[in-house]
Homo-oligomer: A and B are copies of this chain.
Amino acid sequence: MHSFDTRPIGVFDSGLGGLTAVKELKNILPNETIVYFGDTGRVPYGTRSNDTIIKYVRQDIRFLLTHGVKAIVAACGTASSVALPQLNDEFGIPLIGVLNPVCQAAVKASKCKKIGVLGTTGTIQSGAYKKGICQIDQTFSVYEKACPMFVPLVENGYIESEATYIIAREYLAPLMEEKVDTIILGCTHYPLLTKVITDIVGDGVFIINAGYETAGYTKTMLSQQGLLTDSPHKGDCRYFVSDDAEKFSYLGGMFLEETIPAGVTKIDIEVF
């Protein structure tokens, strides 16, 4: 006997990046309803202290719970690596970070057992991907590199510009020296730089996209726990932000690769 659950899936991110995960979720779970919160009023998380990140993530989760969600995806490398390990058992529903799905995919992909990780300063300082990979298999070597310029470059449209190539070459050089064969994009903004990164490291390096891997992991997990919907209809996606809704609609389309419908709602996240 199958059980089903028509409640929505909650997804949050510090801003826009999590939309790369929403895109993948909509793709493989088209009939699920999604409630997305982008904390655009407090972006970026990656440069904040751990205490601040944990406080923010708790508020993000509390807000999504007011929408009766059945599971929450932290589609944010920083939130997943810094806050989730501390909050996992606090809310009584599954919290899915990008960390586990990505580490599993990377271990599976790497033949030479050398994996590179790109992320925000917070993510890299946490060492979470390194720990995650070593928990799966201690024989892997992990080389981490903070890329603090990637988020502002993406958000300002420097997707394939010369300046982006210069900065990306600098970030990627130490990973190339170590001859990694797999690179984790540990921040949901970075898939937009896949072409730049592939141009620099070459086709022989496997690129792990956090949004894609997390969507797949979410589907498996919901299925195992009998939490998938049985709705035969295409699910809605509702968007909430903590700052200007208009700017979110405009930039969000770039991440989602489709137009965000009208009706993005601005909320006060500080009250949650």
Contacts and interface: CB of A to CB of B under 8 A. Distances in A.
Interface in A38-85: 41-42, 48-49, 52
A162 B169 CA distance: 12
Interface residues of A, number: 21
Contacts of A158: 149, 167
A156 B150 CA distance: 11
B156 A166 contact: no
A211 to B, nearest CB: 23
Interface in A244-264: 244, 247
A152 interface: yes
Contact of A48 (B48, B152, B156, B244): B244
A153 interface: yes
B148 A156 contact: yes
Identical copies of this chain, number: 2
Interface in A222-251: 243-244, 247
Contacts of A156: 148-149
A133 B164 CA distance: 35
Contact of A152 (B52, B148, B244): B148
B166 A49 contact: no
A19 B166 CA distance: 29
A163 interface: yes
Given A42-B42, A152-B148, A153-B149, A243 B48 contact: yes
Given A41-B48, A243-B49, A270-B270, A162 B166 contact: yes
A213 to B, nearest CB: 27
Contacts of A247: 49
Interface in A144-162: 148-149, 152-153, 155-156, 158, 161-162
10 contacts: A41-B48, A41-B52, A48-B244, A148-B152, A149-B152, A149-B158, A158-B167, A163-B163, A166-B166, A270-B270
Interface of A: 41-42, 48-49, 52, 148-149, 152-153, 155-156, 158, 161-163, 166-167, 243-244, 247, 270
